[in-house]
Structures are given as structure tokens and as C-alpha cells.
A = this chain, B = another copy of it.
Amino acid sequence: MAQVRTYSSRPVLTVNLTALADNYKYLAAKAGGARMGASLKADAYGLGASVVGRALYGAGCRIFFVAHAGEGKILRTAIGPKASIYVLSGNTPQDTAIFFGSKLKPVINSLTQARDWVKAIKDVNHPPRTGLHFDTGINRLGIPPEEADIFASDKALIDALDIDLIMSHLACAGDAEHPLNETQLGRFKKTASRMPMVQLSLANTGGIYLGPKYHFKLVRPGIGLFGGKVTNTPDKEGVKPVVELHAPVLQIKAVKAGETIGYNASFTARTDMKIAIVSAGYADGLPVNLSGSDKRIVTSARLGKHRVDVIGRVSMDYTILDITNYEGFVELGAKAVFFGQDLETQSAHAKMLNYEVLTHLGARCRKIYVNE
């Protein structure tokens, strides 16, 4: 077996910044005249918020969303002072200093957060502006209807908050037929009509696909930027794959018929086989549910031009591939590729959301940004 190039045992996550920028443009076109924001929570869904943030800034994005103040601080350092960074969890007592230090805008989700913020900014010069997030039916974070009445009637509070965004979040945007979409749309319009005239935002990636009624002034895709499909008609979503997991081949070996392969002896060789042990496992985000057992082969990896089955249990650091028919093509250090164009199918095979798979990818990987 040849070994033609240098390689590390450490797996690689490739993030294609050209595809990212293309997805940004594609979603912007879908969103018509709406401004584009970008949701870069959870380290940009695991892709690396700093580099992804700079790339999107380069593509023209000036409005970003993160979940926590700490995420905002990291993003601010990466993209500089000019863009807006909203923190979706809102202000929490311990994080106030980060909001001020990194000029982060809290998304206010409750009367408590609103009052805490007003108290916190009392003696602060030029505090960040804020967004208001109204819960229109997801029944998760956000100002509930009974508090919305108080916001609507408390002009002093609204003035003190210095709002520049009113938003809500859709629960069922991936399903265009779901009646909750229209319900949330109606509630959002009604609530917004009682508030100051600032920019409105309702649409995540799924909301963009729901059409112009849902776009308002600002859309804020997340997973679509990263190539993820979100609707029940994924073929109509024109985003490109952004992320691949590359697992180098560490060893190639023969297994005799009757031997078992991997943990729990869950796969039995029915004939003499050739296998490749590749250096990525569930610690790198490859779900154990992709394991191939005697009962069922669940998925395959791409290895050069070929597709090779995943056999045996995916373990923490290693995964085993059946290269019986392709041995001559495989060399040490060759890269087995997971996800990329297969993100949706492999996530489905793992019985996981593509979102969940993305966020678990690459924690241990070397990240290589293509076209940075």
C-alpha cells in the first residue's frame, strides 16, 4: 500500500468560504429587498464564528446574532466595531459588563430583562441599543402576550430601551403548510403595530423560503448560510454544501471471514475483507448512529471517486470502512469524506437534525478554511 504524502492523524473540518458567500447571496436574493443578518450562535454552528463572521462581513453583512454575550465578545473582536451584534438570550445580570465592553445589543425577551437593562445603563454613556423579541407562538424565549401589553403602554420604558429592532421567531418555518406560520405572522404584525417604527424581523432560513410576506425589513438566516436544508422540499433549496469532515486513513488491513469488526463485535465479516481504519469518530461529530452492523449498513463515506460502507461501531476516535473492492485505490493518509453534499442524508440516517450534527462537528478537528 502506497503512502505518498504527509498527513496528520488529526481529522480536518473544511469550511468553504466561497460556498458560504454564495449561500449568503442566494438567500439575499430569495429575501428580495430585505436586509441580511446572520445567526452565528454556537460558534457559527460549529464552523468557527470568527472566520465565518469575517467572511460574511466581507460579503456585506452588518447585522449578526449570537446566543450569549461571550459569543458576541469573540465575534466583535473578529469583525471590528462597525456591525451590530445582537445577543438572543438577552441581558443577564452577570454578563452586563460584556455587553458594554463589546458594544453588544441585548435582545430583550421579558419585562425583567427590560427593567434590568434600564437599571444597568442608568449611568452609562452611549449604551448599546436593544431589540425586542416578542413570543408570537413558539412559547420559548420572548416577551409573552401579557407583557407585550405592558411594553405597549409604557412609553418611558420603551424610550429608555432605545429600540432599533423588533423581532419574533417562527416555530414551524420549515413546513410551509403549517397553520402556525400564518398565526405567528398575524400576531407579529399586530404587536409591531403597537410599537415604535423600527426595523422588523421574523424570518430565519425557513422564513426566507416562506416568501415575501415573512421577510419584513431584516431576515436572519443561520443554517442556510452553512449549506443546511430546512424545508420539506429540500431539492428546491439552492444552497451549496459548506462543510466536510475529512478523516485520514491510518491503517489498511485484511480481515478473515468470520472475524468480527469493532466494538461489541457488531459487524461480522461474511467473506475475507479489506478494511480501512480512518481517524475520526464521535468525538469529531460522527454520530454513533452511523455505525454499520450485521443488521444494517447505515451510511458510506466518500473515498476518492468511490463510496465505501461504514462498518462496525463508530468509536470515539476511529471509524472503519469496507474497502474490499477498492483496496488498490486507497493509500495511507487518504481522506474519507463525510457530510458535505451528504449532510442531510447522513443526518437523517443518524436520526439527528442536520443542525445538531453541524454543531457537534469539528470540536477536535483542525479547521481548514477554503478560500479564506
Contact = CB atoms under 8 A, between A and B. Distances in A.
A354 to B, nearest CB: 11
Contacts of A112: 1, 3, 251, 332
A86 interface: no
A92 B9 contact: yes
A21 to B, nearest CB: 23
B316 A263 contact: no
B253 A316 contact: no
Contacts of A261: 138-140
Given A250-B89, A253-B144, A363-B363, A139 B320 contact: yes
Given A316-B42, A317-B41, A175 B264 contact: yes
A260 interface: yes
Interface string A109-135: 110100000000000000000000001
B9 A262 contact: no
A78 interface: no
A182 interface: no
A95 B279 CA distance: 14
By size class, the interface of chain A is 35 or more
A292 interface: no
* Copies of this chain: 2
A359 B283 contact: yes
Given A68-B10, A332-B112, A360-B360, A171 B138 contact: no
Given A7-B94, A141-B250, 16 more contacts: A7-B92, A8-B69, A8-B70, A9-B69, A9-B87, A9-B92, A41-B283, A67-B283, A89-B317, A112-B332, A139-B261, A139-B262, A139-B269, A141-B318, A144-B253, A289-B352
Interface of A: 1, 3, 5-10, 41-43, 45-46, 67-70, 87-90, 92-95, 109-110, 112, 135, 137-142, 144, 146, 171-172, 174-175, 178, 180, 248, 250-251, 253-255, 259-265, 269, 275, 277, 279, 282-283, 287-289, 312, 315-318, 320, 332-333, 351-353, 355-356, 359-360, 363-364
